[in-house]
Amino acid sequence: MTSLDHRTPVLVGVGQASERIDDPGYRGLSAVELAAAAARDALADTGADPGDIASAVDTVAGIRQFEISTPISHSPLGRSDNFPRSVANRIGAAPARAILEVTGGQSPQHLVTELAGTIAAGGAEVALIAGAEAISTVRHLQQADDKPDFTEHVDGDLEDRGFGLKGLANRQMLAHGLLEPTSQYALFENARRARLGLSREDYALAMGELFAPFTAVAAANPHAAAPVRRDARELATPTERNRPIADPYTRFLIAREQVNQGAAVLLMSVGAARRLGVPEDKWVFLHGHADLEEQPLLEREDLSGSPAAVLAVRHALDLAGIGVGDLATIDLYSCFPVAVFAVCDGLGLAPDDPRGLTVTGGLPFFGGPGNNYSTHAIAETVVRLRAQPGAFGLVGANGGMLSKYSAGVYSTTPAPWRPGRSAELQAELDARPAVPTAVHPDGWATLETYTVQHAAGSAVVIGRLDDGRRFLASTKDEETLGRLLDGEPIGSKIHVRSFGFGNRVTMTAERMDELFPPRSPGFRDDYEHILVRRDGHLLEVTINRPDSRNSLHPPANAELDEVFDAYFADPDLWVAIITGAGDKAFSAGNDLVYSASGKPMWVPKNGFAGLTSRESLPKPVIAAVNGFALGGGCEIALACHLVVADETAQFGLPEVRVGLVAAAGGLVRLPRAIPAKVAGDVILTGRRLSAAEAESYGLVSRVAPAGQALAVAREVAAAILEGSPTSVRTSLRIMAEADGFADTVEAVRHPSPALDELLVSQDAFEGPAAFAQKRKPVWRNR
C-alpha cells in the first residue's frame, strides 16, 4: 500500500448500537446517545487508540432524524439543536466542521462519497458520519409520567443543509392524500405488477419470495428490530397481524420505523490512518460511487422502475472496474419491494440471487431507522469485506419516492480516489422529456396506476387523459374502490372531474354525476358566510365574517364562487360589487385560524372568492374596500375591474411575514398594476399602502370618505349601468385581448371578433337612435 497517495480516503471504523423496549437491559437512550454509542464503537473498531482518533476528527456529519426531516415533524421528547456536535461532544471530539445532511435514505452513502472526495482534495483528514433513531423509545415513553427530556442546546457552527424536499412534495400530492411513503411506493409497485402482467396473488407471492431471505438475515442480526424468520406465504398473506396497509402492501412488506438503532462510519486519509496507527487490515476503500436523482413523480415516463437508481449502480460498478457478477455482498435499500425489484430489473439480478440482496435484513425486518438505514448497511458491508479480503461489496441507498439514489462499491483492495461522472449522467437524466401533466383534469381517462389506502377507505390514482396528460386524483367511492380491488383495473377507462378540493375519479360518468351532481348557475335563498342583494341590474355581495375580519375559509370561498358563477350567467345582472361586512376589514385574506386547526384548506378552481383565477370576468366587478384589504383580500381587489376605497382603507400582501406567498394572483397582478419597485416593496416587506397612496399608483380608481366606500361604489355602478351592457362587456373583452400584445399598435389593429359582434347587436343601433331622438336608450343586452 506504500504507493497510495497520502490523501487517499479510506474507511477505517464502523459501529452500530441498538436496543429494544422489551430487552432486559433497555435503557431508553435518545437518538444522540445511540449515535454516540455507535460512534464510540467505530473509534474502537479502528484498532488504534480511540482517544487519539477522536481528537483527530475534524469533520462530523449527522444523518437527519425523522423528527426533524419535514416542516411538520415534531420531537415529543425534545431533541438536540446541533445533533452532529452533540454526538462529537460525547466521544471527546471537537471538529472544526459539523454537517446536518438533507432528508433521504440516500444520505449516508452520499456523505461517504462526498467526504471521501473532500479528504482526497485535502479539505479534511478525519471525518465521522453518525446517525440514529429512537422512534420506538419516543413512542413508548412520551406518555409516561417520568418521561425523559432529550432537549440539548449545543454551541458551535452547524452546516444545516435543510430538508432537501424539493420535488418530493407539492400541493397536488397534499390535496390527494399522497404524502406518506407507503402509498407513494404502492403506486410504483402496482405499475410494475401490471407491466409484468401478474395477477394480484402471483405478485403478492413474488414480494414474499423476495423478502423471505431478508427475514433469515435479520433473524441472525443482533441489531435487528424484528429478528423473526418468515416464509414467502406468511409475508404475502393478509392476517390480523399482517394487515393490509396500502394495496398491494401488507404490514410485513413495508419498512419498520419503530426502532432504536444507531450507526457510525469513520473515514480518514491514508496519511492520517498511518499517523494514528490504524492497522491496514482495517482499511476498506471506496472503489466506485454515484449520486443521481429521478424526475418528479408525475413527470416520469415509466412509473414501474427507476432508471436513475439503475444508472447509479451501473456507474459505481463501472468506476470500480467490475460487473455485477464480481460482487460478493449486496445491500439494496429495501423500504418496499419495488425499491429492490427496480434495481434487480435493471441489472439483471435475480430476486433469489444466492449472494443475497441484503447484509442487514432489510428495512422491514432489520428496521428502518429513518434516513440512517444505509449507515448500518455500510457498517455491515465493511465487516464482511474485512473477512473476505479482496472481495467487493455494493451498497445501494434510496431516498424519496425512488427519487435519489446513491451507490457505493467497497473493497479492502487498495484503490486511489476516483472522481465519478455523476454530474454528467445527471444532466442526461434531466434532459429526458417530461410527461405533460394536468392540474385540473376533466373527462375520460385511462387508469395508469393506483393504490387503495385501507385504513382511510380511500384510493389514490394516477391516470392519463386522452390527450396524454397525466393527473393525480383520489376517491372514496365504494363502487370505485371495489373495482380497484378486483382483477386488473390498470388500463381501464375511468372518469375524472376536477374541483377546488382536488380531482375525483369514478368508473363511469353517471356515477360521477351521482356523487357530484352538476350544478347549474343560480342563486340560493340564503347563504351562511355571505350576504347577497339584487337591486335591478346590480348585484351586491358582502363577505359576512366580521368576527374574523372577513377572512375566507373553504366554505366561504365556495359560496362566493357559486355566487359569481350565477352573476356571470344571469343576463339581467350587469354589474357586481363585492365588499366586506362591518367597517374594519374588506377581507384579511386566508383564515389562518381555520388553517391552523388542521382542517384542509382549498380554494375553488376559479380562485380566491371565485375571482382570482377565473379565466375571464366578462362583466364588471367593483371592489368596495372598507378597511383592511390584506393578503387574499388585496388579491380579490386586484382581480376586480374597479376599486373604490374608503379613505381609511389599507392594502397589503403580508404573506412573507407568516412564511407564505401571495399565490392567488398578488405576485403577478400587483407588479402589473403599480410601479414594479413599489410592488416589490409591498410584497417583500409586507408594508401597507394607504388608500391615497394606492390611488396615486393607480391601484384604486376612487377614494371615498370614511364609511362611504359602498355608497360611492354604488354610484360608480350606476354610471356603468347608464351605458350599454353589451358595449361594457365588449370593452372588457377587447381590453383583455389587448393584454396579449406587447406592441400597442399591433393591439389596436387586432381585428377583435368582439367588435364585430357588437356592431350587429341591438344596442349598437339603439344607442345612436336614442341619441338622435334625444331620449334615454333602452338597452337590450344582446
Write out the catalytic residue numbers: 635, 655
Which residue type, as a one-letter code, is found at position 254? I
**Residues 460, 473: Cα–Cα separation, whole Å:** 6
**Residues 629, 551: Cα–Cα separation, whole Å:** 10
Classify residue 240 as exposed, middle or buried by CB count within 10 Å of its CB (0-12, 13-18, 19+): exposed
SS3 sequence of 359-371: CCCCCCCCCCCHH
**Residues 422, 289: Cα–Cα separation, whole Å:** 9
Per DSSP bridges, beta strands 702-704 and 97-100 are: unpaired
Place of cell 350565477: 566
Angle, helices 181-196/200-219, rounded to nearest 10 degrees = 120
Which residue, 293, 335, 329, 334, is CA-closest to 311?
293
Place of cell 386566508: 590
**Contact between residue 479 and residue 506 where contact means Cβ atoms under 8 Å apart:** yes
**Contact between residue 650 and residue 682 where contact means Cβ atoms under 8 Å apart:** no
Cell numbers linked to 608: 380566491
Helix-then-strand count for the chain, H and E: 27, 27
Which residue, 752, 717, 760, is CA-closest to 735?
752
Cβ contacts of 734 within 8 Å, gap of 6 or more: 752, 754, 755
Which residue type, as a one-letter code, is found at position 484? L
SS3 sequence of 723-769: CCHHHHHHHHHHHHHHCCCCCHHHHHHCCCHHHHHHHCCHHHHHHHH
Residue 698 CB neighbour total at 10 angstroms: 11
Cell numbers linked to 123: 479539505
**Contact between residue 732 and residue 754 where contact means Cβ atoms under 8 Å apart:** no
Local structure of residue 301 (DSSP, 8 states): S
